[in-house]
Chains A and B, each alone.
Chain A
């Protein structure tokens, strides 16, 4: 039997981290930001079926960038984790912190023990009864967890977009302002000298965790509800209402 070449642990971890980062940076960015009545998720995603933002539980949602099959697998695991926990204990005992821990252990174990790390970055958000009790956790490919406040950007151009978002964000934004900021951030010029773009509602995937909704806080904003909230659409207060009000059947049910 031949002996494998010696590779120092530092080099091994660095190679894996570089590999994961490269995979993640290929994807389009996701922005997550708090507004006065909840948390907004937005990303450029022309697909209507392959989601990057999803509901996990009553007050908990999930957003991811990276390899679709890998984060979809983690999303399903999260839904199973949350539903099992809620079934064994009670619905109020399902928390974003517990879920973030389970994800962190999973990502960390895969990073150190398997030949290929997961090329994903996740955000797990739980809305509370007021903005101060919202929890936003950001998880990296190596299992590290960061407790974020106010906003998060993940994905390809994360560092550059973060500076734009950090400048524009302030506590207590309305949903309309938050969406306008998210659209502006996602459309900013790329590093390689491109021009800023104006994004259309049809190319966006937008979801909110709305703390004013009674049980299941998550809902997707699609179609007319999203159009009415987009920047530059004046006098669309009616659309804003119907976009987030709790009227069953007024739009697609929040999956």
Chain B
């Protein structure tokens, strides 16, 4: 255990046996609040501007026939420097949902861990899965608890997508730093390259996309973002570093293998070469 408790017998403290909550965050805030990322004391002042911590960048998500695709590039930046070219920013939240993160990478990864645990904890205690709206609301609560850090400049902005087992469709939720939760229709992007990615998604997304088509659209949107945003990394065939692309459908979370992503990337490049008609620009 992470703390000494008043009971010398070594029995599990009362907080463990108190019935009532199936939420790990609620349990943690009553038993060990210092472990919650939002509860740490911060030095006063506007130090965040000088602080250089890695930032994650672009995440895109789109709905296809029977699920949702979420994709994130692999770059993390620290000012004008590339902090990492192989960071992963798209994670399974549970079996039927995925979460992608943009913003301060260290905090974001910690929040994802907490969110994954929150869903698993509920599932184990209640013996059933949360509804997709329930999961989206729990993520909003976790983001809201970070407001203090966000005001200091260490914002984390997630994108949440999942397969709604009740409605049998894929759905996407976006968030703002205050914990506001908004359901998005068809497609959405967050992060520094999101402006360009959204433009690309608007042109390429169409109703009734299949899974392979949706993965290609996601990869192309990330390539468009990487074209114009210095903080977004494009597919790197030389090092075999491709975006993390995940599909979530009735069969659950599935990470798209690099081989398929290489093929999708080649497809986009070939189409662009053909459109230029051999003109080397």
Is chain B a partner of chain A in the same complex? yes
Within 8 A of A (CB), among B86-102: 95
Asked whether, in the complex, the Cβ of B123 is within 8 Å of the Cβ of A86, the reply is: no
Q: Which A residues touch B19, using CB under 8 A?
A: 73, 76
The 8 Å CB contact of B17, one of A54, A74, A113, is A74
Shortest distance from the beta carbon of A124 to any chain B beta carbon, whole Å: 13
The 6 A-B pairs at the shortest CB distance, nearest first, are namely: A248-B252, A105-B10, A255-B127, A77-B16, A106-B11, A109-B11
Known: A80-B121, A81-B1, A249-B250. 18 other contacts (CB 8 A): A49-B127, A54-B124, A56-B124, A73-B17, A74-B17, A76-B17, A77-B16, A84-B2, A84-B31, A87-B113, A87-B117, A88-B2, A105-B11, A109-B9, A110-B11, A248-B253, A249-B95, A255-B126
Asked whether, in the complex, the Cβ of B11 is within 8 Å of the Cβ of A79, the reply is: no
Cα distance A118–B11 in the bound complex, in angstroms: 13
Cα distance A73–B11 in the bound complex, in angstroms: 14
Q: Mark A71-94, 1 if CB is under 8 A from B, else 0.
A: 001101101110111111000000
B12 interface contact, C-beta 8 A: yes
User: Can you show 15 pairs from A to B with CB atoms below 8 A apart?
Assistant: A51-B127, A55-B124, A76-B16, A77-B16, A77-B17, A80-B121, A83-B24, A83-B120, A84-B1, A84-B32, A101-B10, A102-B11, A106-B17, A109-B10, A253-B123
B114 interface contact, C-beta 8 A: yes
Q: Which B residues touch A101, using CB under 8 A?
A: 10
Within 8 A of B (CB), among A37-63: 49, 51, 54-56
Q: Which B residues touch A77, using CB under 8 A?
A: 12, 16-17
Which residues of B are in contact with A by a Cβ distance under 8 Å? Answer: 1-2, 9-12, 15-17, 19, 24, 27-28, 31-32, 35, 95, 113-114, 117, 120-121, 123-129, 250-253
Q: Which A residues touch B95, using CB under 8 A?
A: 248-249, 253
Shortest distance from the beta carbon of B135 to any chain A beta carbon, whole Å: 13
Which residues of A are in contact with B by a Cβ distance under 8 Å? Answer: 49, 51, 54-56, 73-74, 76-77, 79-81, 83-88, 101-103, 105-106, 108-110, 113, 247-249, 253, 255
Shortest distance from the beta carbon of A235 to any chain B beta carbon, whole Å: 26
Cα distance A102–B12 in the bound complex, in angstroms: 6
Shortest distance from the beta carbon of B249 to any chain A beta carbon, whole Å: 9
Cα distance A71–B251 in the bound complex, in angstroms: 34
**Contact A88:B129 (CB < 8 A) given known A73-B19, A105-B12:** no
Q: Which B residues touch A56, using CB under 8 A?
A: 124
Q: Which A residues touch B10, using CB under 8 A?
A: 101-102, 105, 109
**Contact A81:B11 (CB < 8 A) given known A255-B124, A255-B126, A255-B127:** no
Cα distance A56–B121 in the bound complex, in angstroms: 9
Q: Which B residues touch A103, using CB under 8 A?
A: 12
**Contact A86:B11 (CB < 8 A) given known A80-B27, A253-B123:** no
Asked whether, in the complex, the Cβ of B35 is within 8 Å of the Cβ of A88, the reply is: yes
Cα distance A113–B9 in the bound complex, in angstroms: 10
Asked whether, in the complex, the Cβ of B12 is within 8 Å of the Cβ of A84, the reply is: no
Cα distance A139–B9 in the bound complex, in angstroms: 17
Q: Which A residues touch B125, using CB under 8 A?
A: 76, 79
The residue in chain A whose Cβ has the minimal distance to the Cβ of B24 is A83
The 8 Å CB contact of B251, one of A76, A108, A109, A248, is A248
Shortest distance from the beta carbon of A60 to any chain B beta carbon, whole Å: 11
Cα distance A247–B250 in the bound complex, in angstroms: 11
Cα distance A86–B127 in the bound complex, in angstroms: 20
Cα distance A104–B68 in the bound complex, in angstroms: 46
Shortest distance from the beta carbon of A61 to any chain B beta carbon, whole Å: 11
Asked whether, in the complex, the Cβ of A87 is within 8 Å of the Cβ of B114, the reply is: yes
Shortest distance from the beta carbon of A99 to any chain B beta carbon, whole Å: 10
Cα distance A76–B18 in the bound complex, in angstroms: 9
Shortest distance from the beta carbon of A118 to any chain B beta carbon, whole Å: 11
Cα distance A249–B124 in the bound complex, in angstroms: 17
The residue in chain B whose Cβ has the minimal distance to the Cβ of A55 is B124
Q: Which A residues touch B113, using CB under 8 A?
A: 87
